[in-house]
Amino acid sequence: MLANLSIHFPVLQVVVPLMAAPACLLLRQRGLAWGFAVLAMLVAFAISVALLYQVIAGGAISYALGGWEAPWGIEYRVDLLNAPLLMLVSGISAIALLAARTSIENEIPADRHTMFYIAWLLCTAGLLGILSTGDAFNVFVFLEISSLSAYTLIALGKDRRALWASYQYLIAGTIGATFILIGIGLMYVMTGTLNMADLAQRLPEVSSSRTVFTAFAFFMVGVCLKLALFPLHLWLPNAYAFAPSVVTAFLAATATKVAVYVLLRFVFSVFGYEFSFSHLPLQEILLVLGLLGIFAASIVAIYQTNLKRLLAYSSVAQIGYLILGISFANETGVMATLLHMLNHGLMKGALFLSLAAVVYRLGIAQLDQMHGLASRMPWTMAAFLIGGLSLIGVPLTVGFVSKWYLVSAALENGWWPVAALILIGSLLSVIYIWKIIEVAYFKPVSATTPDVQEAPLGLLLPMWMLVLANLYFGINTELTVGVSQLAAASLFGGAP
């Protein structure tokens, strides 16, 4: 039975959380809903692990939904590029959901908890659907599932500014999605197909047309709005700062990565390297925006005193690194981007979960209330410390591995000034992380520090799972580096 079932893993990966969501509504009681949601996410995570090993062993898997072969039906396609990301999204979603039960006690009224878990499952399913699908229009549908549920999750934050942040995100997100829809429509007009592999075959014939150029431009702008590329990032800091803390941990670690994936998929697999980089000044645009993003956002981060907001700006900066890797337009650069997507997911997940613990005890993560907090909450602050070191890129953490490849990619192109800028950018992150470490570890406990205890195990355990993952994948890089290398090679090898 299980062997039979394994051929359906690509669709079950998405359908399990998708159907668990309405099932939670039937359970009604919030404890039951949480237990069921966790169970569904663990199953989804197990499926993603199985899928990754299937792909490593046997190559890309194609699954025809409804039994209709592509391009007439919708195809799911899992390969080396999306399989690791499926694992990241389902893994982080499961771990953050474990922490959610404790964390939202103080942040969301009890009668909304069931709705919260349902929206969580829907958001996860939406993100997984975007990753799995091989159909351009299906991307739009699942993008909207994940977006609508993300707006809901963010709006449940306890501050009224969460509502305003959610509204702004809704407007920006819908403009982005509509631009993507225009892009897809224009691609369809010139090729008559919506299947990505089929588009990749048919686009080269018409690649010199003005319509395809416009399609590319609209699609890219739409995706860049979704992934919060500087200067289209304005919705992100408030959304992350005022969302419930576990939601920030989940979204920061996954949502923008999924948007970067869509960018990579369309730039390299659908439009193709030839079109994207030789017809257009894409390389220059991405390089400039990536660098500007790193510096502008890092500098703003230094001045923040609300830690969730500080890390949100740091996320905008990290997106800059991801885009920079793509702009190198070489195999090492793309590989560094892929690796950093996974690694940044792990570090931001750990960092935001430790902030969730701080918020759980203090009610807010504000710098001036954290004097000497490390003595009161040693495990939480240790987790933050390790996450912070990883963010800076200290050896033995995942952050070091991805920065290493990013710098080598820059040097491979002979762009040593860019390599130098990457290192200077890391120095900026030292400043804002150090600012927090200094206050929490080296300032004496003051009158403004509330008298609190260490966070409960319900938060500490999930947090430390991610911290250990940061260390494990920082030391044993075989899996992540290996898969990213193969995936980058496949993107440059032509066919998706």
Partner 1 sequence: MNMETVINMVLLSLLVVTAIAIVRIKDLFAAAMLAGIYGLLSASFFVMMDAVDVAFTEASVGAGISTLLMLTTLAMTGRFEKISGNYRPRLALVLVALTGALLIYGTLDMPAFGTAAAPVHEHVAPRYLNDSYAEIGIPNAVTSVLASYRGFDTFGEVVVIFTAGIGVLALLMRAEKPTPRTQTPTASMHEHMVLRIVAKMLIPLILLFGLYVQFHGEYGPGGGFQAGVIFASAFFLYSMLFGLSEARKVVNHVVVQILAALGVLLYGSVGIVSLMNGKNFLDYSALSADAVHGQHLGILAIELGVGITVTTVMIIIFFAFSGRNQIEGEKD
Partner 2 sequence: MSEFGLFNYWVVMLLMMIGFYIVIAQGNLVKKLIGLTLFQTSVFIMYISLGKIEGATAPILIEGVTLYSNPLPHVLILTAIVVGIATTALGLALVVRIKESYGTVEEDEIHAKDESC
Residues that bind partner 1 (CB under 8 A): 4-5, 8, 11, 15, 18-19, 21-23, 25-26, 28, 63-68, 71-74, 111-112, 115-116, 118-119, 122, 125, 129, 137-138, 141-142, 144-145, 148-149, 151-152, 155-156, 182, 186, 188-194, 198, 202, 206, 209-215, 217-218
Distance CA 343, CA 351 (A): 12
CA atoms of 175 and 152, how far apart (whole Å): 18
What's the rounded Cα separation, in Å, for the pair 316 and 323? 11
Residue 378 neighbours by CB under 8 Å, 6+ apart:
454
Q: What is the DSSP letter of 306?
A: B
**The entry of partner 2, partner 1, none that residue 164 binds, CB within 5 to 8 Å by partner kind:** partner 2
Q: Tell me the two tokens of residue 233.
A: 């990032």
**What is the chain's length?**
496
Nearer to partner 2 among residue 28 and residue 160 (C-beta)? 160
Which of partner 1, partner 2, none has residue 411 at its interface (CB below 5 to 8 Å by kind)? none
CA pair distance 258, 342, nearest whole angstrom? 11
* Residue span binding partner 2 (CB under 8 A) among the ranges 182-190, 277-285, 306-314, 456-464: 182-190
Q: How far is the CB of 192 from partner 2 (least distance, A)?
A: 9
- Binding partner selected for residue 209 from partner 1, partner 2, none, CB under the kind-specific 5 to 8 Å limit: partner 1
The smaller minimum CB distance to partner 1, of residues 206 and 465, is found at 206
Per-residue binding letters, 85-124, with partner 2 (x by CB under 8 A): ----------------------------------------
Select from partner 2, partner 1, none the partner in contact with residue 161, using the beta carbon and a kind-dependent cut-off of 5 to 8 Å: partner 2
How far is 157 from 153, CA to CA, in rounded Å?
Answer: 8
List the beta bridge partners of residue 464: none
* DSSP tally for the chain: helices H, then strands E: 21, 2
Cβ pair 17, 43 in contact under 8 A: no
CB of 23 or CB of 181, closer to partner 2: 181
Instruction: Give the burial class of 182: count Cβ atoms within 10 A of its Cβ; 0-12 exposed, 13-18 middle, 19 or more buried.
Output: middle
Q: Tell me: does residue 155 bind partner 2 (CB under 8 A).
A: yes
Residue of 403, 399, 413 lying closest to 345 (CA atoms) = 399
With CB under 5 to 8 Å by kind, the binding choice for 174 among partner 2, partner 1, none is partner 2
Q: What angle do CA 464, 469, 474 make, to 5 degrees?
A: 130
Q: How many other CB atoms are there within 10 angstroms of residue 32's CB atom?
A: 14
Instruction: Kindly state whether residue 144 participates in binding partner 2, applying the rule CB under 8 A.
Output: yes
Q: Which does 283 bind (CB under 5 to 8 A by kind): partner 1, partner 2, none?
A: none
Q: Name beta bridge partners: 133.
A: 76
Q: What is the DSSP letter of 454?
A: P
Q: What count of Cα atoms within 13 Å lies in the side-chain half-sphere of residue 435?
A: 18
Site membership for partner 2, residue 152 (CB under 8 A) = yes
Q: How far is the CB of 356 from partner 2 (least distance, A)?
A: 23
Q: How far is CA 292 from the centre of its chain?
A: 20
Q: How far is the CB of 291 from partner 1 (least distance, A)?
A: 24
From 5, 25, 189, 457, residue interacting with partner 2 (rule: CB under 8 A): 189
What is the nearest approach in angstroms of partner 1 to the Cβ of residue 458? 22
Given partner 2, partner 1, none, residue 381, with its beta carbon under 5 to 8 Å by kind, binds: none
Q: Half-sphere exposure (CA, 13 Å, Cβ side) for 465?
A: 16
Pick the binder of partner 2 from 38, 170, 200, 410 (CB under 8 A).
Answer: 170
175 binds, among partner 1, partner 2, none (CB under 5 to 8 A by kind): partner 2
Give the helix/strand (H/E) hosting 41.
helix 30-58
Q: Is the peptide bond before 231 cis (omega within 30 degrees of 0)?
A: yes
Least distance CB 106 / partner 1 (angstroms): 18
Give 120 or 321: the residue with its C-beta nearer to partner 1. 120
Single residue of 62, 178, 201, 366 touching partner 2 by CB under 8 A: 178
For residues 127 and 422, which CB has a smaller minimum distance to partner 1 in the complex? 127
Which stretch of DSSP H or E encloses residue 78? strand 75-78
Q: Which does 8 bind (CB under 5 to 8 A by kind): partner 2, partner 1, none?
A: partner 1
Return d(Cα 385, Cα 463) in angstroms, integer. Answer: 12
- Binding interface with partner 2 (CB under 8 A): 137, 140-141, 144, 148, 151-152, 155, 160-161, 163-164, 166-167, 170-171, 174-175, 178, 181-182, 185, 188-189, 194
